[in-house]
Amino acid sequence: MTSRKVVVITGGGGGIGAATAAKLVSQDWTVVIADQSLAAATDAAERCRALGGTAEALACDVTSSDDVQKLVRFASDRFGGIHGFFANAGISGLVTPLAEYPEDVFDKVIGVNLRGVFLCLKYALPAMRAGAGGSFVATGSTASIRGRALVGAYTASKHAVLGLVRTAAMEYLGSNVRVNAVLPGPIHTPMMDSINEMAAKRNPGGGGVLRATPAPYGTPEDVANTVAFLMSPDSSHMNGAAVVVDAGNTVA
C-alpha cells in the first residue's frame, strides 16, 4: 500500500509513455508501467526507480480484456487504488492508400488504438470512481482532428478515440473522475521513425508522410508535461477536452 497517487500508463515502455512515467515519478506519483513488451516496460520502470521513484512493470496487451482487467486489479490491489490512468498504447499501421490498405492491418490498428482505449475506459473508470476519483487521459493525435492521406486506419482510430473520450466525460460528469485527450503532433519517437521510414520507401525524397510543417517535431517530454498537467488538480475544470500539443502545426 502507498499513500502516494497511483497512475497506470499503457504503452509505458515507448517514447511518450516512458517520458510521462519519468515526469510523473518526479512529481511523486507511483507509476504502473504496462506494455505489450515486458522488456520495454521493465526498462522504463528501472529508469523511474533510478530517479528515486516507485514503479512497477507489467506485461499487458491492451486489446485483451483479460489483460486490461488484470492491470486494473494489479494497480488497485498492489497500491490501494488508481488516481490517474494514461491510455497511451498505440500503433501506426501502414503508410498506404485506402484502396491498397490490408484489411488485417486495418483491424489491428483499430484493435490497439480504439478497442484498447475502450477497454481501459470500461475497466479503469469504475475502479477510479469507486475509489478516490482521478484523471483519465487518452492519447489521440492531431490525426484525431485532421485528414491525412495514406494513414487511414490510424486517422480513423484516433478520430474515434475522441468520440470515446467525450462519451466517457459525459457519462462521468459530476463524478470524481475526469476524462480528457492529449493530441500530440509529430513527436520524435520510434513510432514516428517507422512512419517516416515507410513514407520514404513509398516516395523516396518526398519528405515523409507529413506535409512540410512550420513547427519542428516535439519531444516525448513535451507531451509528458501536458499529461502531467491533465493529471494534476490544476486542470480540475477540464473534462472532455482535446488538448493539442503540436507547436502550432495544426492551426498554421
Ligand X SMILES: NC(=O)c1ccc[n+]([C@@H]2O[C@H](COP(=O)([O-])OP(=O)(O)OC[C@H]3O[C@@H](n4cnc5c(N)ncnc54)[C@H](O)[C@@H]3O)[C@@H](O)[C@H]2O)c1
The three cell numbers locating residue 163? 468520440
Q: Quick check: 152 binds ligand X (CB under 6 A)?
A: no
Binding residue (CB under 6 A) for ligand X from 20, 76, 135, 141: 141
Q: Quick check: 93 binds ligand X (CB under 6 A)?
A: no
Q: How many residues bind ligand X (CB under 6 A)?
A: 30
Binding residue (CB under 6 A) for ligand X from 84, 93, 134, 184: 184
Active site residue 172: no
The three cell numbers locating residue 31? 507509476
CB closer to ligand X out of 84 and 186: 186
Stretch that binds ligand X, among 8-16, 72-80, 124-132, 228-236 (CB under 6 A): 8-16
The three cell numbers locating residue 57? 512493470
Q: Is residue 150 helix, strand or coil?
A: coil
Amino acid at 92: S
Binding residue (CB under 6 A) for ligand X from 21, 156, 160, 191: 191
CB closer to ligand X out of 39 and 173: 39
CB closer to ligand X out of 175 and 248: 248
Q: In the complex, what is the shortest distance from the CB of residue 96 to ligand X, in angstroms, rounded to a whole number?
A: 17
Give the start-end residues of each E strand in 21-87: 30-35, 55-59, 84-87
Active-site residue among 101, 154, 172, 217? 154
Q: Is residue 143 helix, strand or coil?
A: helix
The three cell numbers locating residue 9? 500508463
Q: Quick check: 55 binds ligand X (CB under 6 A)?
A: no
Give the start-end residues of each E strand in the chain: 6-10, 30-35, 55-59, 84-87, 134-139, 177-184, 242-245
- By CB neighbour count within 10 A (0-12 exposed, 13-18 middle, 19+ buried), where does 103 fall? exposed
Active site residues: 154
Could you list the residues that contact ligand X (CB under 6 A)?
10-11, 13-17, 35-37, 40, 60-63, 88-91, 112, 116, 139, 141, 184, 186-187, 189-192
